[in-house]
Amino acid sequence: MQIVLDSCRQVVAQSRHVSLDQEALARFAPELALSKVPRWEGRYHFSGEPERLAHYLLLLDALNFCFWPEPRWAIDYQGEKISGYWALAAALKRAFEQHSSLEDLQQLIKITPDQLRSILGGTGEIPLLDERAQILRELGQVLHEKFQGQAARLFQAASGSAVELVRLLTSHFPSFRDRATYRGQPVYFYKRAQILAADLHEASGAEGQGALPDVDLLTAFADYKLPQVLRHLGILRYDERLAERVDARRELPAGSPEEIEIRAHTVWAVELLRREMERRDTRLHSFELDRLLWHLGQRDEFRAKPYHRTLTIYY
């Protein structure tokens, strides 16, 4: 999305705490070009008729944020203990397979933190539980008022456009308005709105409601795992004070200059990787590069240095 790229590029140009190493980026591009993009993970994600899948994906990416505070929330799923995003995806899948109250719009509008805790289950507590319940109530209310109570109607209103879907999400749902202000100028990230468009495309096999021909216009989804990977590769560099703070696992406030610079550099670095690979005749979309980098971030060698920690509903 051009509004995201343009605003992030402006941050990169004025950045004081984060920088981008173009030589490291150029060295890594050929290696990344040899990687296979991971497929949509069917084991942990719900699949079903389009209407239920639409509702599942909307809830999944509405809640897809902030899993890092210790002790980590985790669930037992089919004999496996999983945490983080995979735990959320699997917990919601289990709930949909059991036809839980999450599919009842009137129940969704009234859901409480205790009810959500019971539905998700697991050990420990998922962070920002109150905020997550509030987001679900917001979703239910907006769906009721604007889209005849159906997530599928929201997707239909996008008329087969990933960019239009992002616009609809950020226009109607306050919790999807992932933006900040840097030196008096607006910065747009729209992480969860963009990832929902990509997830719809992938989960639907790029058919039906997921046939989004402009999905290539989506940017990277600025979170905390991608910058960890890019820093490990030497593509992102932090100044001494920021590096010490991140490495000491001290929280960066949401909307702080350092946090905005990390996220903006992440988006712009992936865009430059995409361009460098295209120059070498390897064409991947930014959301595919995002997935490659995110999966690298699940490997131990890319966790040598910690990710930055920000308590936020946006990622």
- Catalogue the E-assigned strands of the chain: 18-20, 74-77, 80-83, 179-182, 185-188, 236-238
CA distance 77 to 301: 26
Among residues 178, 223, 290, 300, the one annotated as catalytic is: 223
What does DSSP assign to residue 83? E
What does DSSP assign to residue 123? B
Residues 6+ apart with CB under 8 A from 202: 40, 210
Cα-Cα end-to-end distance for the chain = 18
> Any alpha helices (H) in 38-181, and if so which ranges?
50-62, 84-97, 105-109, 113-120, 129-146, 151-157, 162-172
Task: Examine the residue annotation and report whether 300 is marked as an active-site residue of this protein.
Answer: no
* Contact between residue 288 and residue 219 where contact means Cβ atoms under 8 Å apart: no
CA distance 5 to 217: 10
Q: Which residues are catalytic?
A: 223
